[in-house]
């Protein structure tokens, strides 16, 4: 948040440019988030007991957690079109979840975190969740101040029509709920995901919080990519939305391949501590991860016609490698290698999408 304060941000943008500042902010935020999660994961069972409320209050609090999680996660689907999206310079009228709260992600995180505080079994967990809620609320306030400066009167009008507190603008009569605008599919998917997370709740922060770090970074990267594509489309430049469906699918698969490589580098050795030895040591381990990142970038560029590569055989080979690791993990450790499976699926997606005649771009 400190990097994004007006004075610091202005100075950094002047020196680095908007894209450079965004990259710097992303790197710093990622590093601090990873360190925070890893520290909490290592100490989540230490110290004094929390309130651990039960009885009649437990179920309403759990419902609030699920609702907040669904609100925050579903908002990522509509984020690229929102006035808050990075690389966006226009302010459209509020729609969908923005009618409920103009900050569905921040408020969803805050609601879920605050509901966790009285349920936490350890004091350290209550403090962690309270800090997360505070950061979300402060982030929403700070973002409004920043966008008033950057967008001017259009964003001031947007503020007047909406509320940060969920449903406050609707209750006050400044806004109305339009059911047909709500992302029902995204909400349904996130509700299912929330139930699954409840089932694996005890192991969410296992492996040093690697699952939390990897999942969060992947979602953030997808949201950022979506915002970038929407911004490019609005400017009338070539973007995956303006190319063929086959190219768009192949590019999506290439992005997944690169993401698996990033996860391999970021948390792979934590999830699979025996992995580096299987690759002949750290050098082989990092060479594999960085090669997959590079492959994802190059294949993505090739699917968009920016360079020439034998995309289909490379993708098919990577898919076979993913299948091999899925089999080895299952046979050798009796476990399911999710990221190798993702690599398998992504490789197949690229191979089948890039194979055959290309459709003409539309739009």
**What pLDDT, on the 0 to 100 scale, is given for residue 246?**
78
Neighbour-count burial of 54, counting CB atoms closer than 10 A to its CB (0-12 exposed, 13-18 middle, 19+ buried): exposed
Instruction: Give me the helices (H) in the chain, please.
Output: 6-43, 58-78, 104-116, 123-151, 153-161, 168-172, 184-199, 206-234, 245-271, 275-278, 282-303, 311-333, 338-354
CA distance 360 to 350: 18
pLDDT above 90 (res 119): yes
pLDDT in tens, 51-68: 999 888 999 999 999 999
Listed residue (209, 207, 217) closest to 30, CA to CA: 217
What is the rounded CA–CA span in Å between residue 166 and residue 108? Answer: 9
Please give the DSSP secondary-structure letter assigned to residue 50. -
Q: Which two tokens stand for residue 135?
A: 């950061």
**Among residues 304, 301, 303, 312, which one has the least CA distance to residue 347?**
312
Helix axes of 104-116 and 123-151: crossing angle, nearest 10 degrees: 160
C-alpha separations of 135 from 256, 286, 348 in Å: 29, 34, 40
Q: Which residues contact 73 (CB under 8 A, 6 or more apart)?
A: 108, 186, 190, 193, 219
Give the percent of the chain with pLDDT over 90.
Answer: 45
pTM of the model: 0.68
> Model confidence at 360, in pLDDT bands (50, 70, 90)?
very low
Model confidence at 362: pLDDT above 60? no
Of 24 and 295, more confident: 295
First to last CA, the chain: 38
> What is residue 122's three-state secondary structure?
strand
What CA–CA distance (Å, rounded) separates 321 from 339?
12
Q: What is the predicted pLDDT for the residue at 233?
A: 67
| Mean pLDDT value across residues 187-195 | 88
**Confidence tier at 226 by pLDDT (50, 70, 90):** low
Q: Does pLDDT of 179 surpass 90?
A: yes
* Separation between Cα atoms, residue 128 and residue 194, nearest integer Å: 20
Tens of pLDDT along 240-294?
444 566 777 788 888 889 889 988 988 888 888 999 999 999 899 999 999 998 9
What is the average pLDDT across 343-358?
81
pLDDT for position 48: 96
The alpha carbon of 360 is separated from its chain's Cα centroid by a whole number of angstroms, namely: 31
When pLDDT is cut at 50, 70 and 90, the band that residue 238 belongs to is very low
Domain residue spans of the chain: 44-199, 227-354
pLDDT of residue 181: 94
What's the mean pLDDT when you consider all of the chain?
Answer: 86
- pLDDT confidence of residue 145: 92
Mean pLDDT of 83-99: 89
Average pLDDT estimate for 230-246: 58
358: confidence class by pLDDT, cuts 50, 70, 90: very low
Q: Is the pLDDT of residue 363 over 50?
A: no
Q: What percent of the chain lies above the pLDDT cut of 70?
A: 90
């Amino acid at each position: 948040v400190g990097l994004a304060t007006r004075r610091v941000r202005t100075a950094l943008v002047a020196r680095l440019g908007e894209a450079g500042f965004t990259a710097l902010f992303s790197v710093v935020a990622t590093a601090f988030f990873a360190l925070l999660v890893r520290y909490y994961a290592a100490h989540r069972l230490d110290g004094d007991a929390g309130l651990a409320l039960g009885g009649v209050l437990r179920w309403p609090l759990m419902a609030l957690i699920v609702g907040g999680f669904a609100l925050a996660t579903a908002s990522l689907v509509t984020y690229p079109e929102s006035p808050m999206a990075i690389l966006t310079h226009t302010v459209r009228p509020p729609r969908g979840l923005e009618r409920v709260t103009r900050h569905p992600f921040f408020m969803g995180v805050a609601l879920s975190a605050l509901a966790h505080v009285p349920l936490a079994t350890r004091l350290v967990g209550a403090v962690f969740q309270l800090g997360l809620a505070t950061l979300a609320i402060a982030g929403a306030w700070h973002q409004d101040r920043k966008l008033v400066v950057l967008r001017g009167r259009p964003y001031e009008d947007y503020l007047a029509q909406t509320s940060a507190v969920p449903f406050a603008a609707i209750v006050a009569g400044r806004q109305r709920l339009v059911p047909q605008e709500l992302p029902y599919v995204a909400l349904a998917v996130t509700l299912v995901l929330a139930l699954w997370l409840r089932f694996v709740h005890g192991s969410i922060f296992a492996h040093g919080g690697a699952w939390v770090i990897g999942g969060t970074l992947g979602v953030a990267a997808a949201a950022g990519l979506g915002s970038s594509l929407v911004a490019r489309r609005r400017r009338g430049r070539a973007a995956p939305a303006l190319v063929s469906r086959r190219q768009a699918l192949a590019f999506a698969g290439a992005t997944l391949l690169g993401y698996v490589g990033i996860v391999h580098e970021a948390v792979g050795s934590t999830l699979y501590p025996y992995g580096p030895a299987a690759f002949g040591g750290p050098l082989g381990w990092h060479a594999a991860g960085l090669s997959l990142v590079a492959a994802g970038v190059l294949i993505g560029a090739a699917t968009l016609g920016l360079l020439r590569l034998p995309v289909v055989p490379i993708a098919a080979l990577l898919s076979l490698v993913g299948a091999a690791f899925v089999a080895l993990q299952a046979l050798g450790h009796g476990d399911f290698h999710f990221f190798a499976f993702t690599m398998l699926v992504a490789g197949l997606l690229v191979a089948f999408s890039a194979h055959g005649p290309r459709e003409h771009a539309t739009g």
